[in-house]
A and B are shown apart, each in its own frame.
Chain A
C-alpha cells in the first residue's frame, strides 16, 4: 500500500482550504485558480445543464456564493479524483464505465437525499461519486489483482465485493477509505466510501449518508444496468429500514434521476 498515489501540492492546498470552516469564498476561489485547468472546469460544471442556473456564473467566487461553498469544493474534489485516478488510463479495464456508475450513484444519492429532506444534501453528490474510488485505486496500483477479481466474478457469479472478501484481499471500500484519509478528504466522504457495502457498521452523525449511498448504489445497478463491474444485489435491511423510503418516493426518485442524468453529460467528460 506504500505506492498509493499522492496529491500534488496545489490539490493538497485546495483540500486544506476546503476543510477549514473559516475559509471564505475568496480563499476557495483563489486556491482553485492556482490550477487553471481545475478552475476552468469547475466553472464549466457550475454553468452546466445539471445545475441549470438561469444566468451565467462568471467567476469561481460567484460560483461559491450562488451554488454554495460545499457544492463548489466538492466539484473541485471530484475533478481532482477524476484527474488522478480515471483520466487517460491506458489499461484494458473499462474505467469509463466505472466513472459512469459513479455519476449514477452520485445523482441517485442526491435525489434520495432531496426526497428524504436530508439536511446535509449538498454533500451527497460527492459521496456517491467517490464511493467506488477503491476500485480505481486497484486499477492504478495493481491492475492484475483487479482483473483477477473480475474474472472470479465472471466464473462464480458472485459480486465484486463478495469475491474480495472471499479472496481475503483488502476490499475496495477499505482501500477507498485509506486513500481518502491519505488525501485528507472530509470525514463525510471518507466514511461513506469506507462503509458503503457495510452501512450498519457506521453509528455516527453520518450514518444517514452511508445508508443513502448504499441504497443509491443498489438502485443505480438495478436501474442503469451497471453490470460490467459485478454489483452486489443484496440490500442492507437496516439501512433500507432506517431511510423509510416509501414506494411512491422510490418511483419519484427513479424518474427524477433519469431526468437529471440527461443533464449530467458534462460530468462524463470533465
Chain B
C-alpha cells in the first residue's frame, strides 16, 4: 500500500480519481479489465493478473489473457463461481499464494472475473482497502455492463443510424466517387456516384485499394494520380484518401475523381501543395463538428435512461448547431470546389449597386444587433449601375460585412461596421470599415490566401474553412477588380475592393 497516503478519505479520493481517469478511455470489455488493473495498482501491489469471461453454456470461466494451468482445474472454477455468485471481492489463499478475486456481475448475470496475485501479505489488508475493493467491484461492474450494452447497441441504435444517414446525404451530394474501406479492404460505404460508376476498371479499383492499404498502415492521407488505359484511351483519376474512425474501427475514406475530361491533370500537378493543405484544413474543420456530434450522441446513447428532457434538448440543440455548422462548411467547400474545377462562371447583368448594398445591410441587421454592432451605410446620392454578377458581388459584400461583425472587439463599448462607396472614373470603390480587433501587419497579405484564418492567431471563437476571403478574391478578380485591406491591430480594419464600371473583363 502507498505509505504517503494517510487518511481513508484521501486514499478513497486517490482511487476514485484514478478509477475515473482509467475508465474514461474505455471502449471495449478488455479495456475495462486493464483500467481496473491500473486502478488497483494505485493502492495495492499486484504481481500478475488474469481476466476471465464467463461461458454461460458450460458454466466455466475462461481466461482471455493467460492460460495458467491451475486456472483450468475444476476446484478453481468452483471457487470462482462461488465468488461470482456472492458478488463481493474476496482474497483467496491458494498454494501459499494470495489471489484477489473481483467478480463483475449484473445480477443475476455473471459478466466476468478479474483475478490478481497479491504481493503484500494478507494480514496488512485493511478494512478500508476492502471497502475500496467493494466500491471498485460495484463500479467496475456498472462500467462493464454499460460497455457490453454499448457494444450490442451500436449496430441498431437509431441515433447513430440517423447520423450515418445524414453523412450519407452529404457524401452523396458530392461531385466525386466516395467510398469507405475497412481493414479487410471491403467497402463499408459507397456514395451514389461510386455505386453508379460501373465503368471503374479492376486496375482503378486495385489502385484505390493499394492506396487505402497504405493509408491504413501509415494513418496518413494519401494522394495519387492514376492513369488507366481503357480501349486505348487514357483516363486520368485523382485518388485522395483519409484515415477515418468510423463504426468504431479505423477505416479509410477514398475520394476518386475522373480528371480526364476537365483537363485537370496539369493544374493538379501545380497545386499539389495546395491540395495537401486543403486536405489538412478540411479534415480539421470537419472534425470539430463531427467530434462534437459524435460525443453528444454517445452521451445520449450511454445515458438515455437517466437523462432528463431539458438536458436531452440541450444536447440535441448542440447536435443541431454543429450540424448547421457542418452544412455551412460543406456549402463553402462546394463553392470552392467549383472555383478549383473552373466551373465557376460569372452571370453578368446590369443592376444598381446601391440597391444591392441596402439589401445586404438589411439582411445582416439581425446578426449585427445580436452582437451589439452598429451597421452604418455611407451612401452617395446617385444611381450606381454596374454590369456584374449580382449574386457573387452580394456574396463578397456579405462576407466582408459578416467578418466585420464576427471579429468585433468585445472590449469596446461602441462597435460598428461601416459600408462606404466611392465612384471613380472607371471603377467603383467599395470600403468596409470596422473598429474590430484588426489584423497584424504581417498577416495582411495572407488573409486572402486559401484556408487562412486570422482568428487562429487571435481568437478561437470563430471557425470556418478559411475559404471566405479566398472566394471573395476570386470573385473580385474575375470581375477585373482588386481587393486589399488596411488594418491596425486593436483599432480596426478597412477592406477595399473595386468593380470596373463597364463589365468588360
Q: Do A and B bind each other?
A: yes
Report which A residues bind B (CB closer than 8 A): 18, 20-26, 28, 51-55, 61-62, 64-71, 73, 114-115, 117, 119-122
Assuming the contacts A53-B82, A54-B79, A66-B92, asked whether A121 and B122 have C-beta atoms less than 8 A apart, the reply is: no
The contact of A24 among B75, B86, B124, by CB within 8 Å, is B124
B107 and A24 contact, CB distance less than 8 A: no
> Which B residues are CB-close (under 8 A) to A70?
127, 130-131, 134
With A24-B125, A67-B88, A68-B88 known, 11 other A-B pairs at CB within 8 A are: A20-B127, A21-B8, A24-B124, A25-B123, A54-B78, A66-B90, A68-B130, A114-B107, A119-B134, A122-B88, A122-B134
Can you name 18 A-B residue pairings with CB atoms under 8 Å? A23-B127, A24-B124, A25-B123, A26-B124, A28-B127, A52-B82, A55-B79, A61-B123, A62-B122, A65-B130, A68-B89, A68-B130, A69-B131, A70-B131, A115-B107, A117-B106, A119-B138, A122-B88
Q: Are the CB atoms of B87 and A121 closer together than 8 Å?
A: yes
Q: Produce 1/0 per residue, B125-146, CB < 8 A to A.
A: 1111011001100100000000
State whether A65 and B91 are in contact (beta carbons under 8 Å apart), knowing that A22-B8, A114-B107 are contacts in the complex: yes
Closest-CB distance, A145 to chain B (whole angstroms): 39
Q: In the complex, A114→B86 CA distance in Å?
A: 9
Most chain-A CB neighbours within 10 Å: which of B98, B122, B128?
A: B122
B93 interfacial contact with A, CB 8 Å: yes
Query: What residue of chain B has the Cβ atom nearest to residue A26's Cβ?
Result: B123
Q: Chain B nearest CB: distance from A120 CB in Å?
A: 8
Name the CB-closest residue of B to A68.
B88
Query: How many angstroms between the C-alpha atoms of A52 and B79 in the bound complex?
Result: 10
The chain A residue with its CB closest to the CB of B135 is A119
Chain B's nearest CB lies how many Å from the CB of A231? 28
Q: Residue on A with the closest CB to B91?
A: A65
In the complex, which residues of chain A have a beta carbon less than 8 angstroms from the beta carbon of B89? 68
Residues of chain A contacted by B79 (CB below 8 angstroms): 54-55
How far does the Cβ of B92 sit from chain A's closest Cβ, in whole Å?
Answer: 6
Q: Considering only CB atoms, which chain B residue lies closest to A122 in the complex?
A: B88
| Number of chain B residues whose Cβ lies closer than 8 Å to a Cβ of chain A | 28
Residues of A with C-beta under 8 A to B125: 24-25, 64-65
B368 → A minimal CB distance (Å): 52
Residues of A within 8 A of B126 (CB): 21-25
Task: Tell me the complex Cα distance, A115–B105, Å.
Answer: 12
Q: Are B90 and A65 in contact (CB under 8 A)?
A: yes
Chain B residues with CB below 8 A from A120, complex form:
134
* In-complex Cβ contact of A69 among B8, B92, B98, B127 (8 A): B127
For B92, what are the chain A residues with a Cβ–Cβ distance below 8 Å? Answer: 65-66
Chain A residue contacts of B90, Cβ below 8 A: 65-68
User: 10 closest A-B pairs (Cβ-Cβ)?
Assistant: A65-B91, A26-B123, A21-B128, A21-B8, A119-B138, A69-B130, A69-B127, A54-B78, A24-B126, A23-B127
B431 CB to nearest chain A CB (Å): 68
Taking CB atoms, residues of chain A closer than 8 Å to B124 are 24-26
- Chain A residues within 8 Å of B138, by CB: 119
Instruction: Tell me, in angstroms, the Cα distance from A119 to B131 when the chains sit together.
Output: 11
A25 closest partner in B (C-beta): B125
Whether B123 pairs with A21 at a CB distance below 8 angstroms is no
CB distance from B139 to the nearest CB of A (A): 8
Closest A residue to B85 by beta carbon equals: A52
Interface string of B28-67 (1 = CB under 8 A from A): 0000000000000000000000000000000000000000
Distance, CA A122 to CA B123, complexed state (A): 21
List chain B residues, Cβ under 8 A from A122: 88, 134
Q: Once bound together, how far apart are the Cα atoms of A69 and B134, in whole Å? A: 10
Contact with A along B160-198 (1 / 0, CB 8 A): 000000000000000000000000000000000000000
Rounded to whole Å, the gap between the CB of B97 and the closest CB of chain A is: 13
Q: Closest Cβ of chain B: how far from A122's Cβ, in Å?
A: 6
CB distance from A70 to the nearest CB of B (A): 7
Q: A117's closest neighbor in chain B, by CB?
A: B107
Check if B127 sits within 8 Å of A22, measured CB to CB: yes
Least Cβ–Cβ distance between B180 and chain A, in angstroms: 40
B15 CB to nearest chain A CB (Å): 13
Kindly identify, within residues 70 to 122 of chain B, every residue whose CB is under 8 Å from any CB belonging to chain A: 75, 78-79, 82, 86-93, 98, 106-107, 122
| A61 close to B122 (CB less than 8 A) | yes
Q: Give the residue name and chain of the A residue nearest to B82 (CB).
A: A54
Q: Name the CB-closest residue of A to B125.
A: A25
Closest B residue to A61 by CB, please name it: B123
Expressed in whole angstroms, the Cα–Cα distance for A205 and B79 within the complex equals 33
For residue B122, which residues in chain A have a CB less than 8 angstroms away from its CB? 25, 61-62, 65
Q: A21-B131, A24-B123, A24-B127 are in contact. Are A66 and B107 (CB under 8 A)?
A: no
A259: min CB distance to chain B, Å: 12
| Shortest distance between the CB of B88 and any CB in chain A (Å) | 5
Evaluate contact between A66 and B135: CB separation under 8 angstroms: no
The reply to whether B130 and A22 form a contact with Cβ atoms under 8 Å apart is: no
What residues of B have a CB within 8 angstroms of the CB of A61 in the complex? 122-123
Q: How far is the CB of A15 from chain B (nearest CB, A)?
A: 13
Nearest CB of chain B from residue A143's CB, rounded to whole Å: 38
Q: A65-B90, A115-B107 are in contact. Are A21 and B78 (CB under 8 A)?
A: no
Q: Which residue of B lies closest to A116 (CB)?
A: B107
**Most chain A beta carbons < 10 A, residue from B78, B79, B88:** B88
In the complex, the chain A residue whose C-beta lies closest to that of B139 is A119
Q: Which residue on A lies nearest to B89, using beta carbons?
A: A68
A22 and B82 contact, CB distance less than 8 A:
no
- Chain A residue at minimal CB-CB distance from B81: A54
In contact, B127 and A21 (Cβ under 8 angstroms): yes
Distance in angstroms between the alpha carbons of A54 and B87 in the assembled complex: 15
A18: chain B residues within 8 A (beta carbon): 127
Docked pose: A119 CA to B79 CA in angstroms: 22
B contact residues around A73 at 8 Å (CB):
127
A21 to B130: give the CA distance in the assembly, Å: 9
